[in-house]
Structure 1
Amino acid sequence: MSTPWFVFDVGGVLVDETRSWQGWAGELGVTYDALWDALCEDIRAGHSHRHTMQRLAPGRDIMAIRRARLALDAPLEHDLYPDVRPAFAALRARGVRIGIAGNQPLEAAPALEALSLGAEFIATSAGWGVQKPHPRFFEEVLKACGAEPHDITYVGDRVDNDVVPALAAGMRAAYVPRGLWAGMGASPVPALSALTEL
């Protein structure tokens, strides 16, 4: 019997991004609540979070701000959701292999490695040169696991970026709707309230 894999997205799944969004609000000169409301409004309208930031700070170089914030926004221990370590420990105890792969900058990988979560691999979209939901991202997940698609469950917080493309790649998908994209779109798989439900 083949060994199952669970591969986890980062933001909204392992990492609560509140601290990062608070930092962005400060950079853009708006309140956290104003930024959050604008992000949710734009996401529902089909726009990206970069669109929101540019809309809130016209004329500002959003990419320059992002580059300056890379180290500040790297995941820290207190950014982890409280169910992450218990879920990982329970999965490993059952013989499940764990990977981490998400749309993240290169700087996120060493920060995640420093958290010693026990993942067998940690990968970023920047390192792979492709972002979700592009099918090639999920091809990279397959390569990193060295497993058949049906032996891999991709765990994400977004229907459009995580659940749908993982299923299209032949993988299983788990949906944890929390964070900014929670509840944005109807999921073809049941929603989990915590990673410990895995």
Structure 2
Amino acid sequence: MIRAVAFDVGETLISDDRGWGAWADWLAVKRHTLSALVGAVVAQGRDNADALRLVRPGIDIEAERAAMEQAGRGEFLDESDLYPDVRPSLAALQDSGIRVVVAGNQTRRAGELLRALGLPVDALATSGEWGVAKPATEFFARTVDLAEAAPHEVLYVGDHPQNDVLPARECGLRTAHLRRGPLGHLWADSEEAEAADWRLGSLTELVDVVRAQ
């Protein structure tokens, strides 16, 4: 039985378009250029932050992020960044008696912004707040604690097979791969994605899956 559902953030709940666009503008490079570089490094199995390093070799990403905040051009989220199926799907899961949590590789600031959106969730945390990120085992141990259920009663949902599906599965969680965003589409037919308990095209499908358990 699934008692809790835990969600990744980027390209699962929110579109990353705004964030990458802000980086492109800050680094004075065309948005299409940075977008193409993100796709290229992802296809190579590299960290998507490597796209920033290609644009500006030797970049100190945290220092640049702080400078962006200081200049009033830091992280920002509002309702328009959410995928349309997010709010109704999370609410439907809660209405079904499922504990809904959010746990993703995001900054501390992103955690603050997500909470300000007032999503229908029971708990929310980011890697920046925990000091540990996916795919580390400790990240998923903390996710299970946040879910307040046994590992096999927690379903982790994300778009990245290597960061979401495989490590969550190894930690004993159920998994769902979401075909959304660059990573979700690129790796949708990979062996890693096929290892998920469920493969989804939307969060609306997820609600039906959980209710059927």
Flag whether TM exceeds 0.5 (same fold): yes
- Could you tell me whether the CA contact under 8 Å between 2:2 and 2:154 is conserved in 1? no
User: Which shifted more, 137-146 or 52-61?
Assistant: 52-61
User: Which shifted more, 102-111 or 44-53?
Assistant: 44-53
Provide the secondary structure at the position in 1 that maps to 2:120: coil
Report percent identity of matched pairs.
38
Task: Structure 1 unaligned segments of length 5 or more: list them.
Answer: none
Cα RMSD (Å): 1.7
CA-CA distance at 1:111 after TM superposition:
1.2
CA-CA distance at 1:60 after TM superposition:
4.3
Name 2:11's counterpart in structure 1. Answer: 12
Q: Note the alpha carbon deviations across 1:117-172, whole angstroms, 9 max, x for none.
A: 12111101111111000011000011112211111001111000001111111111
Name 1:43's counterpart in structure 2. Answer: 42
Alignment of 1:39-188 (within 5 A): 39-69=38-68, 72-185=74-187, 186=190, 187=193, 188=195
Distance (whole Å) between structure 2 residues aligned to residue 143 and residue 165 of structure 1: 16
The answer to whether residue 34 in structure 2 is matched with residue 32 in structure 1 is no
1:61 to 1:169, Cα distance in 2 relative to 1, 3 A: closer
The answer to whether residue 193 in structure 2 is matched with residue 191 in structure 1 is no
Provide the secondary structure at the position in 2 that maps to 1:180: helix
Distance (whole Å) between structure 1 residues aligned to residue 161 and residue 2 of structure 2: 26
- Could you tell me whether the CA contact under 8 Å between 2:156 and 2:165 is conserved in 1? yes
Provide the secondary structure at the position in 2 that maps to 1:49: coil
Task: Structure 2 unaligned segments of length 5 or more: list them.
Answer: 207-213
Distance (whole Å) between structure 2 residues aligned to residue 158 and residue 148 of structure 1: 23
1:35 to 1:88, Cα distance in 2 relative to 1, 3 A: same
Provide the secondary structure at the position in 2 that maps to 1:191: strand
Provide the secondary structure at the position in 1 that maps to 2:100: strand
Q: How many pairs were matched up? A: 197
- Could you tell me whether the CA contact under 8 Å between 1:157 and 1:177 is conserved in 2? yes
Q: Note the alpha carbon deviations across 1:53-104, whole angstroms, 9 max, x for none.
A: 1111235443322223457323221100100011012111211110001011
The two structures have a TM-score, normalised by structure 2, of 0.86
User: Which shifted more, 183-192 or 98-107?
Assistant: 183-192
The two structures have a TM-score, normalised by structure 1, of 0.92
Name 2:211's counterpart in structure 1. Answer: none
Structure 1 runs of 4+ aligned residues shifted over 6 Å read: none
Q: Note the alpha carbon deviations across 1:30-69, whole angstroms, 9 max, x for none.
A: 2111111111111212322222211112354433222234
Q: Note the alpha carbon deviations across 1:154-198, whole angstroms, 9 max, x for none.
A: 111100000111111111111112223223431012431111111
- Could you tell me whether the CA contact under 8 Å between 2:134 and 2:164 is conserved in 1? yes
- Could you tell me whether the CA contact under 8 Å between 1:3 and 1:97 is conserved in 2? no
